[in-house]
Amino acid sequence: DVKVTQSSRYLVKRTGEKVFLECVQDMDHENMFWYRQDPGLGLRLIYFSYDVKMKEKGDIPEGYSVSREKKERFSLILESASTNQTSMYLCASSPLKTRREQYFGPGTRLTVT
Amino acid sequence: AQSVTQPDIHITVSEGASLELRCNYSYGATPYLFWYVQSPGQGLQLLLKYFSGDTLVQGIKGFEAEFKRSQSSFNLRKPSVHWSDAAEYFCAVVPNSGGYQKVTFGIGTKLQVIP
């Protein structure tokens, strides 16, 4: 079974803090994704990566950056957390040669106070 | 650009009743189609997918979905709902073309199951 893990299930940070969200997948997938999920808005793509050290902006990259130094790990960074970044963050992965089904981690619920 | 509409934000059904969740998409050609389920506090799990061929696809947990090209729909069904089916359900579409293509998710339908 594909396993995607996220470093924290719940996280509480203060405004202005730098926040790291880590995601690890164990199935040698090329593609990895970060989404945020908000009620009434569904899933919105923040960034994705199709290879080590490669990244592409999604629909809402402002205020976020990412890092992919190893194939299995994809990190989301909030350089200076703000209250409007309080959300559920979901990481996903998929193989390169696939019909684009994605495998999701359990999510990190981030609260910025 | 493709889009996905899930017209029902909340649905309540009685345990044992049948279920149909609606999904309509907008795209020039037939895309790849997916249904995901998200239990409370969890990530999304793939229920089923449609790529081509038989328009009625079977998934996990007793779910099925039917692709109707003429209606641009991919509705999810279950003949008899169990209390454990209470969750949020997301329809998703991806263009059927080469290279990386972005997945577009619907906003989700939250299913409540009452005894």
Mean pLDDT of chain B: 92
Could you read off the pLDDT of B57-100 as tens digits, one per residue?
A: 999 999 999 999 999 999 999 999 999 999 999 999 988 776 66
pLDDT in tens, A39-94: 888 899 999 998 898 999 999 999 999 999 999 999 999 999 999 999 999 999 98
Say how many domains are in chain B: 1
Q: Give the model's pLDDT for residue A78.
A: 97
Q: What is the CATH number of the domain that holds A11?
A: 2.60.40.10
Range of the domain at A49: 4-112
What was the pLDDT predicted at B2? Answer: 78
Choosing among B27, B89, B90, B100, which should be mutated to test the A contact, i.e. which has the most A CBs within 10 A?
B100
Tell me how many degrees the CA angle A40-A79-A9 measures, rounded to the nearest 5.
Answer: 55
Set of chain A residues whose Cβ sits within 8 Å of the Cβ of B43: 4, 90, 92, 104-107
Distance separating alpha carbons of residues B27 and B24, to the nearest angstrom: 10
pLDDT-based confidence at A99, cuts 50/70/90? low
Cβ-based neighbours of A18, under 8 Å, separated by 6 or more: A77, A78, A79, A80, A81
**Does A103 contact B at CB distance below 8 Å?**
yes
User: If you measure CA to CA, which chain A residue comes closest to B107?
Assistant: A42
Q: Which two tokens stand for residue B114?
A: 């009452």
Domain extent, residue B55, equals 3-114
CATH number at residue B11: 2.60.40.10
Distance CA A20, CA A91 (A): 13
Average pLDDT in the A32-43 region? 92
d(CA B31, CA B101): 11
Q: How many beta carbons lie within 10 A of that of residue B89, not counting itself?
A: 24
| Mutant choice from B25, B60, B102 vs A, greatest count of A C-beta within 10 A | B102
- Does the pLDDT value for residue B101 go beyond 80? no
pLDDT digits over B10-19, tens only? 999 999 999 9
